[in-house]
Amino acid sequence: MRRPRLRTLRARLTVGLLVLLAVGCAAVGGAAVLQLGGFLTDRLDQQLSGTGSAFAASLEHPRHDDHDGDEHGDTRRQAAETLGVRIVGGDVTNAAVVRGGDEAADLTTVDVSGTDARALAAVPRDGHGHSVELSGLGDYRVMAWQGRDGDTLITGLPLEPVEAAVHRLELVAVSVFGLTLTGAGVAGALWVRWSLRPLSRIADTATRVSELPLASGEVALPARAPDTRPRSAEVDQVTFAFNRMLGHVQNALTQRQRSEERLRSFSADASHELRTPVASVRGHAELALLHPGPVPPEVTHALERIAAESTRMGAIVDDLLLLARLDAGRPLEREPVDLTRLVLDAVTDARAAGPGHHWFLELPQEPVIVSGDVHRLHQLLANLTANARLHTPAGTAVTVGVEPADDGTVHLTVTDNGPGIPAALRGDLFERFVHGEGARTADGGGTGLGLSIVAAVAAAHGGTATVTSERGTTRFTVRLPYQGPG
């Protein structure tokens, strides 16, 4: 069986405190019980030593000249239950016990069994007390002396009063210590809870910070834990250090946010300003190509390259401007969009652009409707099909599918059986200006913005874009909130 684990620091400290207190109580109680038992036993030994062997000797040689006593000695001078034994040659010849007490004292002869006789005969004649267990009388503290006739004289007192006092102390100690542990447990739990309140506040603050969308530019951190100056208390030092850390984190996030905002503003402004001169360059190049007069072939080729590159640069500028607008959080249009129709159109365009590939469709029976911007979703599909076409060799099979999922989303997938994407490239595939030339085909190209636009458009619609790839199978999956069938 597994031992239950204490999961909270408060519980561990409380249990540890109770364990230490219980050990201390047990040590104190044990020492008190042992000390009381030893003290009372010493008192019995002193009483036996004061009585001496006279009582045991009187069992065989009564003092007739003692007018205050009887023929067996004055039993009124002996404590109740005093035992007298005379042993000759290892055999008990006389054994008697004083019954009653004071004026009613009476001497009663007792029979000693063989086991008890052997236990009494084994008591050394050293004048010191020894404990023996007698089957007919109970536990006794006895003391043995050498008699006048070479015999052994033993006097004993019962241990029952000592044992009763010790048991009573044990019961009192258990009761008192039990109540003490109970009270200490309650008080200790409250004290530990009060002492660890700053740590609880730190944990609550850390939890709230962990739930903030820090990656999306949120820099307003929650209120700090109750701030105190660093003193010797460890909890205060942790609180102070935690608050300082939050301050540094907020400053870093604020600086990062400002830097990203400046970068976005620059990207948007630069893209906007470049659109006019790029369009002008393309227009002049196309106008020069329409010149009716003779133009040298080299000039014609140069003008064609200028027109082509200006067209390509215009597409890059448009993509950068779109990303800047998405980064700025500008809202997209929201209207019902038939995703199956968009897929049909995108695959039709892809067949025309890439006739060397094999294009397949996997569509449900009913139209799939999502809420979003039809132009941006069409661009998302066009970028995914273009990515599959540009980065796989001719003859590759590309399957575009739409499938509603049970989690309230619709999965838009583009799967190909090309050579796959290197593992080192997959983690950064949706970052901007990430190229995969030479990774899947030698004639790949692109600006490195297509998949970043896919991820940004999906995020703007409340969805995600992911990729899985191995040799022979690469799948891009876009998850969008599902509105329902058409």
pLDDT tens per residue across span 392-426:
999 999 999 999 988 888 999 999 998 888 888 88
- Both tokens of 194, joined, read 């009060």
Contact in structure between 56 and 62 (CB atoms under 8 Å): no
Written as six digits, the tokens of 156 are 């004993």
Burial label for 355, CB within 10 Å (0-12, 13-18, 19+), is exposed
Structure tokens at 131: 């404990």
Sheet strands (E) in 147-298: 152-158
Q: Are 361 and 347 in contact (CB under 8 A)?
A: yes
Residue 394, Cβ neighbours under 10 Å: how many? Answer: 12
Intervals of the chain under pLDDT 70: 1-6, 60-77, 100-107, 215-233, 260, 263-273, 275, 328, 435-447, 483-486
The CA-based angle 334-378-314, given to 5 degrees, is 110
Q: Which amino acid is at 476?
A: F
pLDDT at 331: 74
Q: Cα separation of 28 and 26, whole Å?
A: 6
Please tell me the predicted confidence (pLDDT) of residue 396: 92
Strands (E), 215-323: none
Cα separations (Å) of 44 from 155, 158, 240, 443? 11, 9, 66, 110
Say which residue the tokens 């250090």 belong to: 241
Contact status, residue 204 vs residue 190, Cβ threshold 8 Å: no
- Helices and strands (H and E) in the chain: how many: 11, 14
Question: Rounded to two decimals, what is the model's pTM?
Answer: 0.49
Q: Yes or no: say if 354 and 389 are a contact pair by the CB < 8 Å rule.
A: yes
Residue 86's CB: how many other CB atoms inside 10 A? 23
Radius of gyration of the chain (CA): 51
- Predicted local confidence at residue 475, as pLDDT: 93
Q: What is the pLDDT of residue 126?
A: 84
Q: Is 96 helix (H, G, I), strand (E, B) or coil?
A: strand
Closest CA to 380 of 474, 301, 479: 479
Q: What gap in Å lies between CA 450 and CA 382, rounded to an integer? A: 9
Share of the chain above pLDDT 90, in %: 21
User: Within 13 Å and on the Cβ side, how many CA atoms surround 362?
Assistant: 13
Most distant CA pair in the chain: distance in Å? Answer: 170
Whole-number Cα distances in Å, 306 to 260, 271, 289, 445, 446: 33, 19, 11, 18, 18
* Contact indicator for 438, 425 with CB cutoff of 8 Å: no
CA distances, 356 to each of 170, 315, 390, 392, 395 (Å): 96, 24, 11, 10, 6
Q: What is the pLDDT of residues 352-381, one digit of tens each?
A: 988 999 999 999 888 889 998 898 899 899
| DSSP structure class, residue 73 | B
d(CA 199, CA 444): 56
Task: Please tell me the predicted confidence (pLDDT) of residue 63.
Answer: 52
Give the up-direction half-sphere exposure of residue 2: CA atoms within 13 A in the CB hemisphere: 3
Distance CA 187, CA 374 (A): 66
What is the reported pLDDT for 323?
A: 75
